[in-house]
Structure 1
Amino acid sequence: MKQKNNGTWVSWNENVTHNYKSLYKITTEEELREVIKNSEKIRVFGSKQSSADIASGLETLVDITTYNKILSYNDSEHTITVQSGVILGDLLDAIEAKGWCIPCLPDINTITIGGALATGTHGTSGKLLCEYMTDCSIVLADGSLKKINEKDEIIDAVRVSLGVLGIMSEITFKCEPIYTLHVKEGPEDDSEWLPKIKERLNKHAFLRILWLPHTDKGYVITGDKINPDTEITENLGPAYLKHRRTASKILYKYSHIFPWTTAIANKLLYRGFFRNTKEHKGSLYQATVTKSRGSTIELAEWTIGLDKFPKVFEELKTEINKWSNKSFIHIPMDIRFVYKDKSWLSYAYGEDTVTMGCVSRNAATADTYEAFKSIEKVFLKHGGKPHWGKRFTAKDAGISKIYSKWEDFKVLRKELDPTNKFLNPYLTELLNEKQRANAVA
């Protein structure tokens, strides 16, 4: 175990910083238990890519990225057991080498498994990543180890835990046989893709829509399972498409000063980078997951019931197209689909849902990005839920109205962590624990 004293923790985007007194890099479960047991307050972080201030903010920190071994496979059960600091890309490489897959993958592969589970990371046209977890062990506030499997009632609370019930240690995932997707991409008018969502979800194994605000266009991506030997005519589009992020960075450089220029930039980006059709094939991981992200961005993401989405979309579109406000949104807004589950803090608890991401490509000025406020206002109005690892301002009172198991989660949290060891200032405010502590006093 390595220890570093008195430093500054800096987020991926460099817009969240916190001083710390002790930072530990651990490689074993025993070291993790020891550090937690002997710390008064502690947070664990991974790749630091969250847009929420969830990972740091305390005097004692653990860098979990060195706790990253793949521990075992069960060939007959198609399961893999890993340490929680494993990077998603390494996990996916390992299971693809076995001829397996996890059928729902997030957009980027550089996050740690523990962080991905804690914040409810998801893909599209499937369930949250945590729904494929069958067993796990968590280190509790007193340093003891608690093992949990699918038969335990609290597994539905632990699947999305915000890192406040205990710290994930070892995790087992249930995998499925690998399959090949035939992916087709291309632009459509909003009036065309919006009414076809349910039809396409029934027809295709994979559906994702990159909405292009202020253009009346969406970029539709579908995937169908095919025999891996099926020949297709691959078309990856013009070579210059790889420069989209660079072009976006240039076009949005001053959009925080002159928000209305975003609408012009979006139209130019659509004409340059989203008018082409593309076609290719590969595994879900090969065909759909971003392997690198060249620039830092800030994100908000909101989720709404599938049946409510068309109305919410039209309301949001009307709101952001008003020239009287400053809510001009960078492209694309990522629209994905998650099927219902039973995890307490899942965005899809009890209902099929649509998620809609909002991106600011000027990370340094994201605090003044009006679009984050507008999307939150519209989605909250209709009972939408925020992504735990991304930007939102709703706190305990608002969260309790949209998560039916929120109060149950808070009771369990207090039971497992009675001294609030895992709460940083951000989480203390989110859970309203400061007020509760004052009331008790």
Structure 2
Amino acid sequence: MKQKNNGIWVSWNENVKHSYKSLYKITSESELQKVIAHSKKIRFFGNKQSSADIAAGTDTLIDMKNYNKIVSYDDDKRTITVQSGVILKDLLEAIEAVGWCIPCLPDINTITVGGALATGTHGTSGKLLSEYITSCRLILADGSVKEIKSNDELMNAVKVSLGMLGVLSTITFKCEPAYTLHVKERPENDSEWLPKIKNRLKKHDFLRVLWLPHTNKGYVITGDKIAPETEVTENLGPKFLKHRRTASKILYKYTHVFPWLTAIANKLLYIGFFSSKKEHKGSLYQATVTKSRGSTLELAEWTIGLNKFPQVFKELKKEINKWNNKSFIHIPMDVRFVEKDNAWLSYAYKEDIVTMGCVSRNAATADTYEAFKTVEKIFLKYGGRPHWGKRFTAKDSQLSKIYPKWEDFKSLRKELDPTNKFLNPYLSKLVNEKKTANVRKVVA
């Protein structure tokens, strides 16, 4: 175990900074237990890619990235057990190597598994990643270990918990046999793709829509399971498509000063990068997961019941198309679909949902990005729920209205962590817990 004293913790986007007194790089469960047991206030982090201020802000921090081993496989049960600091890329490559898959994968592969689970990370056309847990080991505030099985009542609270109940140590995932997808991508008018959502969810094994604000277009991606040997005429589009992020960076450079430029930039980006059709095949991981994010960005994401989405979408589109406001949204807005579950703080608790991401390509100016405010206002109006690892301003009183198990979760949190060891200032406000130790924040 390595220890570093008196430093500055800096987020991936460099717009959240906190000072700390002690930072530990742990490699074993016993080290994790020891640090937690002997700390008064503590938080933990992986690759620091959350847009929410959940990973630091306490005097003691744990860097989980070296706690990253593949522990074991169970061929009969088709499960894999890993340490929580393992990067998603390494987990996915490990299960693909034995012919397995997890059938709902997030957009990126650079986050730690523990962080992904704690914040309710998900893909599309399936369940939250946390729904594939069969068991896990949780380090509690006193340093003891609690093993939790899938049928334990506690599991639905632990699956998505922002690290407020304890620290995930090892996690066992249930996998499925790997499969091949035939993926087709193409632009469609909003009037075409919006009413087809339910039918496409029934027809296709994979569905994702990249909505292009200010263009009246969506970029529809469908995937269908095929035999691996099936021949597909591959069309990856023009070679210049790989330069979309560079073009976006140039076109959005001054949109924080002149927001109306965004509408023009979006139209140009649609013509250049979203107007062509593409076709290819591969495993779910190969065909749909972004392997890296070349530049920093800031994200908000909101979810809403599948039946309410058309109404929410139409209101959002109407609002951002008004030229008298500043909510001009960078493209694309990622529209994905998640099946209902029973996890207490899941966005899909008891209902099928649609998720809609909102991105600012100018991370440094994200605090004044009006689109985040507009999206939150409209989704909250209809009972929408925010992604825990991304930007939102809703606090306890609002969250208690949109999460039926919010108060139960808060009660359990106090029971498992009576001294608020796992709370930082951001989380304390989130759960309306006023008793928190003083910490030192460095303004970016």
- The alignment partner of 1:65 has SS state of coil
Q: Give 1:136's aligned residue.
A: 136
- Give the 5 Å matches for 1:275-314: 275-314=275-314
Q: Give 1:28's aligned residue.
A: 28
- For each residue in 1:297-332, what CA deviation from the matched residue of structure 2 results, as whole angstroms up to 9, or x when unmatched? 000000000000000000000010111100000000
Q: Give 1:71's aligned residue.
A: 71
- The alignment partner of 1:9 has SS state of strand
**Contact conserved, 2:103 with 2:126, CA < 8 A, in 1?**
yes
- The alignment partner of 1:337 has SS state of strand
Q: Give 1:12's aligned residue.
A: 12
- For each residue in 1:311-366, what CA deviation from the matched residue of structure 2 results, as whole angstroms up to 9, or x when unmatched? 00000000101111000000000000000000000000000000000000000000
- Give the 5 Å matches for 1:24-423: 24-423=24-423
Q: Give 2:441's aligned residue.
A: none
Q: Find the aligned partners of 2:184 and 2:304 in 1 and give their Cα distance.
A: 26
Q: Extract unaligned runs of 5+ from structure 2.
A: 438-444
RMSD: 0.9
Q: Find the aligned partners of 2:150 and 2:180 in 1 and give their Cα distance.
A: 29
Q: Find the aligned partners of 1:8 and 1:181 in 2 and give their Cα distance.
A: 44
Q: Find the aligned partners of 1:232 and 1:430 in 2 and give their Cα distance.
A: 49
- The alignment partner of 1:266 has SS state of helix
**Contact conserved, 2:360 with 2:366, CA < 8 A, in 1?**
yes
Q: Find the aligned partners of 1:237 and 1:206 in 2 and give their Cα distance.
A: 20
- The alignment partner of 1:19 has SS state of strand
Cα 1:351–1:389 shift into 2, 3 Å: same
Q: Find the aligned partners of 1:234 and 1:381 in 2 and give their Cα distance.
A: 43
**Contact conserved, 2:425 with 2:436, CA < 8 A, in 1?**
no
Shift of 1:33: 0.1
**Contact conserved, 2:302 with 2:357, CA < 8 A, in 1?**
yes
Q: Find the aligned partners of 1:195 and 1:275 in 2 and give their Cα distance.
A: 20
Q: Find the aligned partners of 2:322 and 2:131 in 1 and give their Cα distance.
A: 40
**Contact conserved, 2:428 with 2:436, CA < 8 A, in 1?**
no
**Contact conserved, 2:10 with 2:16, CA < 8 A, in 1?**
yes
Shift of 1:123: 0.2
Q: Find the aligned partners of 2:82 and 2:36 in 1 and give their Cα distance.
A: 20
Q: Find the aligned partners of 1:46 and 1:97 in 2 and give their Cα distance.
A: 24
Shift of 1:388: 0.1
Give the letter for the 1:84 counterpart.
S
**Contact conserved, 2:298 with 2:359, CA < 8 A, in 1?**
yes
Shift of 1:436: 11
Shift of 1:136: 0.1
Q: Find the aligned partners of 1:345 and 1:358 in 2 and give their Cα distance.
A: 21
Q: Find the aligned partners of 1:365 and 1:431 in 2 and give their Cα distance.
A: 27
Q: Find the aligned partners of 1:309 and 1:150 in 2 and give their Cα distance.
A: 31
Q: Give 2:442's aligned residue.
A: none
Q: Find the aligned partners of 2:367 and 2:435 in 1 and give their Cα distance.
A: 26
Shift of 1:151: 1.7
- The alignment partner of 2:107 has SS state of coil
Shift of 1:5: 0.3
Q: Find the aligned partners of 1:339 and 1:171 in 2 and give their Cα distance.
A: 22
Q: Find the aligned partners of 2:331 and 2:51 in 1 and give their Cα distance.
A: 18
Give the letter for the 1:356 counterpart.
M
- For each residue in 1:204-236, what CA deviation from the matched residue of structure 2 results, as whole angstroms up to 9, or x when unmatched? 000000000000000000000000000010000
**Contact conserved, 2:208 with 2:222, CA < 8 A, in 1?**
yes
- For each residue in 1:241-291, what CA deviation from the matched residue of structure 2 results, as whole angstroms up to 9, or x when unmatched? 000000000000000000000000000000000000000000000000000
- For each residue in 1:167-218, what CA deviation from the matched residue of structure 2 results, as whole angstroms up to 9, or x when unmatched? 0000000000000000000000000000000000000000000000000000
Q: Find the aligned partners of 1:356 and 1:150 in 2 and give their Cα distance.
A: 29
- For each residue in 1:29-52, what CA deviation from the matched residue of structure 2 results, as whole angstroms up to 9, or x when unmatched? 000000000000000100000000
Q: Find the aligned partners of 2:59 and 2:249 in 1 and give their Cα distance.
A: 35
- The alignment partner of 1:76 has SS state of coil
Q: Find the aligned partners of 2:263 and 2:311 in 1 and give their Cα distance.
A: 22
- The alignment partner of 2:374 has SS state of helix
Cα 1:295–1:354 shift into 2, 3 Å: same
Q: Find the aligned partners of 1:133 and 1:422 in 2 and give their Cα distance.
A: 22
Give the letter for the 2:12 counterpart.
W
Q: Find the aligned partners of 2:361 and 2:46 in 1 and give their Cα distance.
A: 22
- The alignment partner of 2:65 has SS state of helix
Give the letter for the 1:35 counterpart.
V
- The alignment partner of 1:182 has SS state of strand
Shift of 1:150: 1.1
Shift of 1:374: 0.1
Shift of 1:435: 7.2
Cα 1:436–1:424 shift into 2, 3 Å: closer
Q: Find the aligned partners of 1:294 and 1:87 in 2 and give their Cα distance.
A: 17
Q: Find the aligned partners of 1:158 and 1:292 in 2 and give their Cα distance.
A: 28
Give the letter for the 1:363 counterpart.
A
Q: Find the aligned partners of 1:400 and 1:83 in 2 and give their Cα distance.
A: 32
Give the letter for the 1:9 counterpart.
W
Q: Give 1:428's aligned residue.
A: 428
Pairs aligned (count) = 437
Give the ranges of 4+ consecutive aligned residues of structure 1 lying more than 4 Å apart after TM superposition: none
